Amino acid sequence: MNIPPLLGVILHQTPELANAYLTGGCVRDSLLNIPVKDYDIEVFNVTLEALIQALKRWGKVDLVGKSFGVIKLQTDSGDWFEFTLPRQDTKVDLGHKGFNIQINPTLSLKTACSRRDYTINALLYDPRKNCLLDFFEGEKDLRNGRLRHVSTAFVEDPLRVLRGMQFASRFALAPVSETVQLCRSIFHLYRELPKERIREEWLKWATRSTKPSAGLQFLEATGWIQHYPELSVLSQTPQDIYWHPEGNVFVHTCHACDALVMQPKWQAGTSTFRTVTLLATLTHDLGKATTTKNVPREGMCRVISPGHEEAGTDRANQLLERIGCPLSIAERVIPLVRNHLAHLQEPSVRSIRRLANKLQPASIEELCLVMAADHGGRPPLKPDLPQNILALQKIAQELELELQAPEPILKGRHLLAQGIQPGPIYGTILSSSYEAQLEGEFESLDQAVKWLHFYLVERNIVFQKKD
């Protein structure tokens, strides 16, 4: 492993860390050549107090997780490292928190690893011998694209199913049948999970996926997709084979999500940008569940879903609420769902102005990415972007509206300068002026002031300039 130099110094120059091993995600990610952000170190054969005192030599110690045997160290250089002691968790009550936790530094390495959820996380790395300790063939599972539980104790914590969803998506893994059956056996424990833990796993799916369909298929295989009825119904919702040869709406949604994360712009985006666009892609066709019908056309039975984009907004809201999506994210997802067919009309300067305004607080940049994913999620059809999407992007860039709605030209201070005193009429005038601006009736402040004069005269609104 490529261990940070300072961490290497700490591990080699601290006697109390003679039996310390890097563990879990940092080892897994290193094996996958994924940049490691967080380093977790499990320490054996040392007491909690001795570990605390030893770490204080290297910086500030955070004891918030002390009762769980977790100590966080912030070094003088600002780096954070998490040190843990082995522990035994015993299920004693219902709920995700219903465990009796006992710190036990004398546990064997294998026993300590056996409490992990999946084999890919039950890995240790010995920094002294530079070798991997893998008691449950987690490295082999990574190479073979396999997601497998460590032991039958897996069933004690239902959160592990949702963790499996996001691990499958992040590392393109498929669950083994035994793990699927264990997940099915604890289907009823979903109600024990607090909303914030559900949200945490879904946001990892939305920000870190390399193959989001793998997580959705994991939910379907385990039956846990039934906890999300807005998604579960999609596999029974057909599509017209001419436009969607790939299959039903669930199949299309999986392909569309995978198409999105292949986009360089998505990969380079902020975590919020990735979350918004992937959740919008996930929910863009939820409305088809209630609008899809068969109609005779040209001597054939065709499948149509008229108005599904508008109908889908309520169902998208329901799903986003179900997974605990933050409001700041949801309010950007919904307008993307509502407008994901905007490219079906030929774009114009006027329509782009209006679209940018309707999308707030989302953006045309986000919408184009979602529309591209929707179009690309129809194999074996070619994923080439329709000309209308390309034209829409071009006009939006030329108008500098790709990232935001048009800024109002006429503002309150301009009304005041024209002698219009503040009052309820301000809102009416400014709203009307913005509509006129979107329609292209004026493009500069001088033109806006002229428009204002005509507007006031037409409505017999009298005003006087201030002295």
Of 227, 245, 278, which residue sits at a domain end?
227
pLDDT of the residue at 340: 98
Rg (CA), the chain: 28
297 within some domain: yes
Of 227, 257, 280, which residue sits at a domain end?
227
Q: Within 13 Å, how many C-alpha atoms sit on residue 432's CB side?
A: 14
Give the span between the Cα atoms of 46 and 41, in whole angstroms.
13
List the domain range (segments joined by +) for residue 214. 158-227
pLDDT of the residue at 169: 98
Q: What mean pLDDT is predicted for residues 7-19? A: 96
Task: Tell me the per-residue pLDDT of 427-464, one tens digit each, with 9 for 90 and over.
Answer: 999 999 999 999 999 999 999 999 999 998 888 876 65
pLDDT grade for 66, boundaries at 50, 70 and 90: confident
Spatial contact of 284 and 256, defined as CB atoms under 8 Å apart: yes
Percent of the chain with pLDDT over 90: 87
From the number of C-beta atoms within 10 Å of its C-beta (0-12, 13-18, 19+), residue 94 rates as exposed
Q: Output the six-digit token pair for 329.
A: 């994210």
Q: What mean pLDDT is predicted for residues 402-406? A: 94
pLDDT grade for 203, boundaries at 50, 70 and 90: very high
Asked whether residue 222 falls in the same domain as residue 276, the answer is no
pLDDT at 79 over 80: yes
pLDDT at 248 over 90: yes
When mean pLDDT is compared across 14-28, 99-113, 243-257, the lowest value belongs to 99-113
pLDDT of the residue at 65: 85
Q: Output the six-digit token pair for 214.
A: 């793998």
When mean pLDDT is compared across 92-96, 143-147, 195-199, the lowest value belongs to 92-96
466 within some domain: no
Indicate the average pLDDT of the chain: 94
pLDDT of the residue at 150: 97
pLDDT of the residue at 144: 97
pLDDT grade for 421, boundaries at 50, 70 and 90: confident
Asked whether residue 298 falls in the same domain as residue 439, the answer is no
pLDDT at 281 over 60: yes
Percent of the chain with pLDDT over 70: 96
Q: What mean pLDDT is predicted for residues 200-211? A: 98
Closest CA to 352 of 338, 368, 369: 368
Give the span between the Cα atoms of 280 and 276, in whole angstroms.
6
pLDDT at 9 over 80: yes
Task: Tell me the per-residue pLDDT of 321-355, one tens digit each, with 9 for 90 and over.
Answer: 999 999 999 999 999 999 999 999 999 999 999 99
pLDDT of the residue at 64: 86
Task: Tell me the per-residue pLDDT of 300-328, one tens digit each, with 9 for 90 and over.
Answer: 889 999 999 999 999 999 999 999 999 99
> What residue type is 210 in one-letter code?
T
Asked whether residue 352 falls in the same domain as residue 437, the answer is no
pLDDT at 93 over 70: no
1: domain CATH number is 3.30.460.10
Q: Is 69 helix (H, G, I), strand (E, B) or coil?
A: coil
Task: Tell me the per-residue pLDDT of 374-386, one tens digit each, with 9 for 90 and over.
Answer: 999 999 998 889 9
Task: Tell me the per-residue pLDDT of 115-141, one tens digit each, with 9 for 90 and over.
Answer: 999 999 999 999 999 999 999 999 999
pLDDT of the residue at 459: 85
Task: Tell me the per-residue pLDDT of 222-247, one tens digit each, with 9 for 90 and over.
Answer: 999 999 999 999 999 999 999 999 99
Spatial contact of 11 and 127, defined as CB atoms under 8 Å apart: yes
pLDDT of the residue at 89: 72
Asked whether residue 14 falls in the same domain as residue 80, the answer is yes
Asked whether residue 340 falls in the same domain as residue 249, the answer is yes
313 within some domain: yes
153 within some domain: no
Asked whether residue 168 falls in the same domain as residue 272, the answer is no
Asked whether residue 223 falls in the same domain as residue 244, the answer is no
pLDDT of the residue at 94: 66
463 within some domain: no
Asked whether residue 171 falls in the same domain as residue 91, the answer is no
Closest CA to 309 of 331, 324, 326, 290: 290
Asked whether residue 133 falls in the same domain as residue 29, the answer is yes
Domain total in the chain: 4
pLDDT of the residue at 450: 94
Q: Is the pTM of this model over 0.85?
A: yes
Q: What mean pLDDT is predicted for residues 47-70? A: 93
When mean pLDDT is compared across 155-164, 192-201, 367-376, 418-427, the lowest value belongs to 418-427
Task: Tell me the per-residue pLDDT of 35-57, one tens digit each, with 9 for 90 and over.
Answer: 998 999 999 999 999 999 999 99
Asked whether residue 420 falls in the same domain as residue 388, the answer is no
* DSSP structure string for 114-153: TTSSBGGG-EEEETTTTEEEESS-HHHHHHTTEE-BSSGG
- Residue 171, sorted as left (phi over 0), alpha (psi -120 to 50) or beta, turns out to be alpha
Asked whether residue 416 falls in the same domain as residue 393, the answer is no
Ranked by mean pLDDT, which of 90-99, 252-261, 376-385, 426-435 comes out on top?
A: 252-261
The number of residues in the chain equals: 467
Nearest 5°: phi and psi at 147? Answer: -110, 120
- What is the CB neighbour count within 10 angstroms for residue 238? 16
pLDDT of the residue at 102: 86
